[in-house]
């Protein structure tokens, strides 16, 4: 396939939604698979919804996710810039371009001026609802001649420009993920193309932009499916070639409803804040609405690019399952080096007040072992402070199984053995920690579970947890002796 050009075209209305990121990911995979170009365009014609800083956030979220923008709106030196030959790539800068094509449609008879007031349209809609009809414009102004229209405009009347759809005509298009889709024009509305403020509607702007920017494949959410026949008709009316459409299923919550803020986190920023890795989030999102042939679940970006197939995009919404996301992300957490894990987790660690970068510089081995000790149990970075709790929380034994161990017959022997061996040591090295339990076995005459379970309960207050030798090294002699003293209070 030659010269594939796709675009991601969000509105700057806030943070990038997780469903928006998935659309961007699918566009990016398709472009890279076909050695094509990925464009970022900003659709900001609805100025009432514009949010300051949203464009910067969008670009930051895409960059963090590993999506490279080839053309369009990007950041350079902290500034929003536009790069490419098809600019401007921000719709509010393209008003003259849209006006030119709206005029062309008016002249060719594919569009008309409409002078209906908001009051008339509201009343019409209300009346149609009462009669059980689908609310749509009744075509009153279709009969207004061009001459009369120009006179009314000259007299200062407000107007919009509407698309003049043909009567009773089947409009068909091919969807690469769904096959042929046909909708009759009688089921559609004479869409407004230009609003009274001179700004185009989404429908007008999107067709003009996609054509002038050479977009070959439009990969977007299924909410645009009902509008696509209008877009197809607009291409025809303007004498342009229709691009290939690929409509994506929605991203749903566990109730199979559209994922929305009311149910919790929905923005890329939220997930980033919880300490998900970009590789984990992108890998998981790719699987929400698309399934590979061989049920593989863990993919690098390069593997996704090779495996992605639009024919395997689902026709029904994909449920966003946080537990599954955690599982995928934990795979990438395990792949981090201890240094990477420590560096990425530092903001969470410092916020929890556990230790600082200066502490790490003074004793790097201690903190490296700490990360190694907790790494396997992590799903995301925000869990690091809690996972370090065995070291920093006030020692207490509340777990039923741990209390049972401390009331066991072997507990006093194990604790006494530990105190004896530790008493003969200075500071515990990692090597010492590895040999300590063998020495306690000799001193106490207790072995196996009867040795390890009470020892763990006495030192950590739990019976399960990370490698015991690492815990011994990390706690250090003074802290262990303090804890053993407290543990005696739980003996039977």
**Model confidence band, residue 434 (pLDDT cutoffs 50, 70, 90):** very high
What are the angstrom distances between the C-alpha of 49 and each of 9, 13, 131, 416, 445?
15, 6, 33, 69, 74
Domain ranges of the chain: 5-89+251-312, 91-248, 336-392, 400-489
Residue 29's contacts (CB-CB under 8 Å, 6 or more residues apart) are: 286, 304, 305, 308
Burial 108-124 (b: 16+ CB within 10 A, else e): eebbbbbbbeeeebeeb
- The C-alpha atoms of residue 320 and residue 301 are separated, in whole angstroms, by 20
pTM: 0.93
Binding residues: 261
Domain with residues 400-489, CATH architecture: Orthogonal Bundle (1.10)
Say yes or no: domain 91-248 is CATH 3.40.50.620: yes
- Give the 3-state DSSP-derived string for 99-119, with helices as H, strands as E and coil as C: HHHHHHHHHCCCEEEECCCHH
Res. 259: pLDDT tops 90: no
Cis peptide bond upstream of 88, omega within 30: yes
pLDDT digits (tens, 9 = 90+) for 381-416: 999 999 999 999 999 998 999 999 999 999 999 999
Region of residue 484 (left: phi > 0; alpha: psi -120 to 50; beta: else): alpha
User: What pLDDT score does 263 carry?
Assistant: 64
Please tell me the predicted confidence (pLDDT) of residue 330.
98
pLDDT of res. 50: 87
Q: Rounded to whole angstroms, what are the CA distances from 389 to 356, 406, 459, 471, 486? A: 16, 21, 13, 12, 18
User: In the chain, pLDDT over 70 holds for what percent of residues?
Assistant: 99
Q: How far apart are CA 268 and CA 281, in angstroms?
A: 9
Of 50-54, 70-74, 216-220, the poorest mean pLDDT is in 50-54
Mean pLDDT of 186-209: 95
pLDDT tier for residue 116 given thresholds of 50, 70 and 90? very high
Tell me if residue 311 is catalytic: no
pLDDT at 11 over 70: yes
Which residue in the list 100, 150, 261, 486 is annotated as catalytic?
261
Length reported for the chain: 492
5-89+251-312: CATH class: alpha beta
| The domains spanning 5-89+251-312 and 91-248 adopt the same CATH topology | yes
pLDDT band per the 50, 70, 90 thresholds, residue 432: very high
């Amino acid at each position: 396939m030659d010269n594939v050009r796709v675009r991601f075209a969000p509105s700057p209305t806030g943070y990038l939604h997780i469903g928006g990121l998935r659309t961007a990911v699918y566009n990016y995979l398709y472009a890279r698979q076909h050695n094509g170009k990925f464009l970022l365009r900003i659709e900001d014609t609805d100025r009432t919804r514009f949010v300051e800083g949203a464009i910067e956030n969008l670009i930051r979220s895409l960059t963090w996710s590993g999506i490279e923008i080839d053309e369009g709106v990007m950041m350079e030196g902290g500034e929003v810039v536009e790069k490419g030959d098809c600019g401007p790539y921000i719709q509010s800068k393209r008003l003259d371009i849209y006006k030119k094509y709206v005029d062309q449609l008016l002249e060719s008879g594919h569009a008309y001026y409409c002078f209906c007031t908001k009051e008339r349209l509201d009343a019409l809609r209300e009346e149609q609802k009462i009669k059980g009809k689908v609310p749509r414009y009744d075509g009153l102004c279709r009969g207004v001649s061009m001459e009369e229209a120009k006179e009314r405009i000259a007299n200062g009347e407000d107007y919009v420009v509407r698309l003049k759809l043909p009567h009773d005509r089947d409009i068909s298009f091919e969807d690469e993920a769904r096959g042929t889709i046909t909708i009759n024009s009688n089921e559609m509305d004479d869409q407004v193309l230009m609003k009274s403020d001179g700004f185009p509607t989404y429908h007008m702007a999107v067709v003009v932009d996609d054509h002038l920017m050479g977009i070959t494949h439009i990969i977007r959410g299924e909410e645009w499916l009902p509008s696509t026949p209008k877009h197809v008709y607009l291409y025809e009316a303007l004498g342009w070639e229709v691009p290939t459409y690929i409509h994506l299923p929605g991203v749903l919550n566990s109730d199979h409803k559209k994922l929305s803020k009311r149910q919790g986190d929905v923005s890329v920023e939220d997930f980033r804040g919880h300490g998900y890795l970009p590789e984990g989030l992108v890998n998981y999102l790719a699987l929400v609405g698309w399934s590979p042939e061989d049920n593989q679940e863990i993919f690098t970006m390069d593997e996704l690019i090779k495996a992605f197939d639009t024919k395997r995009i689902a026709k029904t919404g994909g449920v966003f399952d946080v537990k599954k996301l955690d599982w995928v992300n934990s795979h990438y957490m395990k792949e981090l080096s201890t240094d990477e894990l420590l560096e990425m987790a530092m903001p969470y660690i410092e916020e929890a007040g556990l230790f600082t970068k200066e502490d790490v510089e003074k004793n790097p081995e201690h903190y490296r072992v700490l990360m190694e000790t907790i790494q396997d149990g992590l799903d995301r970075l925000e869990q690091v402070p809690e996972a370090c709790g065995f070291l920093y929380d006030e020692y207490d034994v509340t777990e039923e199984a741990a209390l049972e161990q401390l009331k066991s017959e072997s507990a006093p022997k194990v604790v006494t053995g530990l105190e004896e061996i530790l008493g003969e040591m200075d500071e515990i090295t990692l090597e010492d920690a590895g040999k300590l339990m063998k020495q306690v076995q000799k001193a106490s005459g207790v072995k196996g579970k009867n040795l390890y379970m009470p020892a763990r309960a006495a030192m950590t207050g739990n019976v399960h947890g990370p490698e015991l030798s690492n815990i011994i090294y990390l706690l250090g002699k003074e802290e262990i002796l303090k804890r053993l003293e407290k543990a005696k209070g739980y003996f039977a």
